[in-house]
């Protein structure tokens, strides 16, 4: 455990804003992480843990507390049922390095999430996902340390409240976390697929990759293609591309009842939301296309595109408030970006304008996806 001279958060977050906090500690091993958290919690100081800083929007004023950088690494293979492999991964390990490892080892289950920035420990916090794959699909359990009591426990994925970009560990804007805890390691169970070509499961992923149901491709091919598509949207970090100086999607796509979605213009992109089924539903194989039908009698929820609403509200890709150094990505209307030297307040001003415009045109309140610290919308 090393207390270091605090580094400005603008150098450690992908939105590139934020001053140096009062105190900063690096934890390089699991035991150091446990020790430093217990020490900080005993002191009563304000605190937060920092992974890759790719889902954080911090304010301009220095954070008056301790920032703990999670820099633990390592992948360990655990016993698993035949045909499957369990990986226990330390929280500070790079998520994309884990995906690259899995793909090169012929393990499937996370390849569609190639290129998501950040650390493995932060991935369950908002149940990261892309192209229809989410970490909830492969997550077995996490090793957690709870602020209350400082105990380390192994918690099954089913107890983490994982949903669309949420979990009990995420601090959503305007509300406190349901469980104040830090993930020390994550255990995933992946399928042994090998280097061969296979048909791709999941309609959303096939659609993104331009594949039909029977077309067979390798995991490597999927990873390369996903990285290519994401890069074209500014969704892979690239120091040379200001469209990636973002927190990814700044606002969440919105989940509304089908009746509300019907009131929106038909061109508004929408996707079915997988319902929580509490009984066995038999879906004929010939009709199954990666989506489960809603339970009978339940009005299905629908996910609608926040990026589309923003563009329809007149704020197109590349939009900037005059004289502001914050702007929408030129590739993706849902990504707020720092065009160079923007303050957190400049980014917040743009975010507020978007919220007001979308609300006045569609009556919908857009909710920020990143965790906000020291800044309000
Ligand atoms: C270009 C770009 C593209 C993106 N694309 C996607 C995408 O496709 N899908 C998606 O879901 N997300 C996406 N994101 C968002 C982001 O990459 C993910 O949310 C990622 O998991 C954040 O990891 P991090 O280590 O950077 O977390 P940080 O930003 O460091 O932290 C985020 C939150 O998690 C907490 N946290 C961090 N580590 C831990 C831990 N070990 N235990 C408990 N809490 C912790 C932090 O305190 C903070 O509250 C994108 C972001 C960018 C910049």
Q: Tens digit of pLDDT for each residue in 182-195? A: 999 999 999 999 99
* Mean of pLDDT over the chain: 93
Q: Which of 55, 70, 85 is the last residue of a domain?
A: 70
Cα separation, 54 vs 93, in Å, equals: 14
Structural domain including 138 reads: 75-232
High-pLDDT (> 90) share of the chain, %: 85
Q: Taking the CB of residue 287, how many other CB atoms lie within 10 A of it?
A: 8
165 catalytic? Reply is yes
Regarding the beta carbon of 92 and ligand 1, being less than 6 Å apart is answered no
Please tell me whether residues 164 and 299 are part of one structural domain: no
Q: What is the CATH number of the domain that holds 63?
A: 3.30.43.10
Helices (H), the chain: 30-43, 95-104, 203-209, 219-232, 258-262, 306-312, 344-362
Q: How far, in Å, from the CA of 286 to the mean position of ligand 1?
A: 37
Flag the least confident range among 56-70, 125-139, 159-173, 286-300: 286-300
CA of 95 to the centre of ligand 1 (A): 10
Is the predicted pLDDT of residue 276 greater than 50, yes or no? no
pLDDT 10s digits, 179-226: 999 999 999 999 999 999 999 999 989 999 999 999 999 999 999 999
Q: Strand 336-338 and strand 301-304: pairing?
A: unpaired
Residues 66 and 81 in one domain: no
Binding site membership of 307 for ligand 1 (Cβ less than 6 Å): no
In short, whether 67's Cβ falls inside 6 Å of ligand 1 is no
- Residue 334, pLDDT > 80, answer yes
How many angstroms separate the CA atoms of 294 and 274, rounded? 7
Give a yes or no: residue 195 inside a domain.
Answer: yes
32 belongs to the catalytic site = no
Q: Which of 16, 30, 165, 223 is catalytic?
A: 165
Task: Indicate whether residue 9 lines ligand 1 (CB < 6 A).
Answer: no
Q: Is residue 215 part of a domain?
A: yes
Verify whether residue 249 is a known catalytic residue.
Answer: yes
Asked if the structure places residue 237 within a domain, the reply is no
Instruction: Give the residue, by CA position, lying nearest to ligand 1 atom 18.
Output: 55
CATH number for the domain that contains residue 185: 3.30.465.10
């Amino acid at each position: 455990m090393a207390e270091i001279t605090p580094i400005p958060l603008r150098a450690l977050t992908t939105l590139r804003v934020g001053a140096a906090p009062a105190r900063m500690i690096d934890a390089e091993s699991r035991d150091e992480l446990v020790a430093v958290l217990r020490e900080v919690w005993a002191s009563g100081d304000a605190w937060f843990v920092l992974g890759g800083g790719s889902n954080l929007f911090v304010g301009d004023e220095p954070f008056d507390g301790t920032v703990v950088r999670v820099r633990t690494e390592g992948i360990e293979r655990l016993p698993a049922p035949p045909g499957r492999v369990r990986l226990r991964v330390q929280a500070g390990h790079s998520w994309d390095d884990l995906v690259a490892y899995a793909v090169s080892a012929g393990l499937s289950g996370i390849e569609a999430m190639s290129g998501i920035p950040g650390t493995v420990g932060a991935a369950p916090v908002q149940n990261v996902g892309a192209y229809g794959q989410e970490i909830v699909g492969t997550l077995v359990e996490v090793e957690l340390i709870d602020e209350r009591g400082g105990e380390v426990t192994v918690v099954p994925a089913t107890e983490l409240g994982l949903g669309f970009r949420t979990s009990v560990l995420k601090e959503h804007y305007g509300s406190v976390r349901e469980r104040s805890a830090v993930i020390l390691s994550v255990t995933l169970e992946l399928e042994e697929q090998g280097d061969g070509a296979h048909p791709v499961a999941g309609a959303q992923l096939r659609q993104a990759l331009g594949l039909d149901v029977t077309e067979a491709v390798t995991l490597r091919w999927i990873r390369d293609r996903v990285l290519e598509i994401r890069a074209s949207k500014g969704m892979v970090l690239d120091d040379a591309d200001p469209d990636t100086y973002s927190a990814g999607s700044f606002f969440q796509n919105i989940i509304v009842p089908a009746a509300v979605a019907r009131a929106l213009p038909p061109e508004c992109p929408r996707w079915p939301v997988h319902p929580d089924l509490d009984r066995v539903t038999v879906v004929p194989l010939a009709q199954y296309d990666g989506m489960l039908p809603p339970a009978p009698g339940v009005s299905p929820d629908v996910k609608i595109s926040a990026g589309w609403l923003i563009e329809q509200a007149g704020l197109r890709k590349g939009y900037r408030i005059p004289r502001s150094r914050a702007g929408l990505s030129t590739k993706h209307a849902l990504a707020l970006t720092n065009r160079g030297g923007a303050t957190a307040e400049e980014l917040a001003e743009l975010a507020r304008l978007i919220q007001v415009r979308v609300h006045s045109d569609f009556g919908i309140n857009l909710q920020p996806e990143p965790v906000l610290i020291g800044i309000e919308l």
